[in-house]
Amino acid sequence: MAKFPITLSRFIIEQQAAHPEATGEFSVLLTQIGLVGKMIAHDLRRAGLNKILGTTGETNIQGEVVKKLDQIANDTFVRVFEHSGLVCVLASEEMEKPLKMVHEGAKYMLLVDPLDGSSNTDVNMPLGAIFSIRRSKLGQRQPVEDELLQRGTEQIAAGYVLYGASTMLVFTVGQGVHGFTLEPSIGEYLLSNENIRIPSKGKVYSVNEGNYHRWPSGTQKYLDSLKVQDKATGRPYSGRYSGCLVADVHRILLGGGIYLYPGENDKPEGKLRLMYEGNPLAMVVEQAGGKATTGTMRILDVEPKALHQRVPLIIGSAEDVSQAEAYIQGRA
Distance of alpha carbon 49 from alpha carbon 26, whole angstroms: 36
Comparing CB distances to ligand AHG, the nearer of 162 and 198 is 162
Report which residue type is found at 157: A
Q: How many other C-beta atoms lie within 10 A of the C-beta of residue 194? A: 13
Report how many residues bind ligand AHG under the rule CB under 6 A: 12
Which stretch, 30-38, 75-83, 114-122, 318-326, contacts Mn ion (CB under 5 A)?
Answer: 114-122
Which residues neighbour 154 within 8 Å (Cβ) at sequence distance 6 or greater? Answer: 134, 135
Report whether 277 belongs to an annotated binding site: yes
Yes or no: say if 100 and 144 are a contact pair by the CB < 8 Å rule.
yes
94 is a contact residue toward ligand AHG (CB under 6 A): no
Report whether 154 belongs to an annotated binding site: no
Q: Which of 37, 116, 278, 291 binds Mn ion (CB under 5 A)?
A: 116
As measured in angstroms, the least distance from the Cβ of 68 to Mn ion is 13
The SS3 assignment for 298 reads strand
285 is a contact residue toward ligand AHG (CB under 6 A): no
Q: Which of 113, 286, 320, 325 binds ligand AHG (CB under 6 A)?
A: 113
Beta bridge partners of 239: 205
As measured in angstroms, the least distance from the Cβ of 119 to Mn ion is 9
Burial track 7-42 (b if 16+ CB lie within 10 A, e otherwise): bbeebbeebbeeeeeeeeebbebbebbbebbbbbbe
Q: Which of 196, 244, 281, 282 binds ligand AHG (CB under 6 A)?
A: 244
**Burial of residue 264, with CB atoms counted within 10 A of its CB: 0-12 exposed, 13-18 middle, 19 or more buried:** middle
64 is a contact residue toward Mn ion (CB under 5 A): yes
Known binding-site positions for Mg(2+): 93, 113, 115-116, 277
Binding region for Mn ion (CB under 5 A): 64, 93, 113, 115-116
Known binding-site positions for substrate: 116-119, 208, 241, 259-261, 271
Binding region for ligand AHG (CB under 6 A): 64, 93, 113, 116-119, 208, 243-245, 271
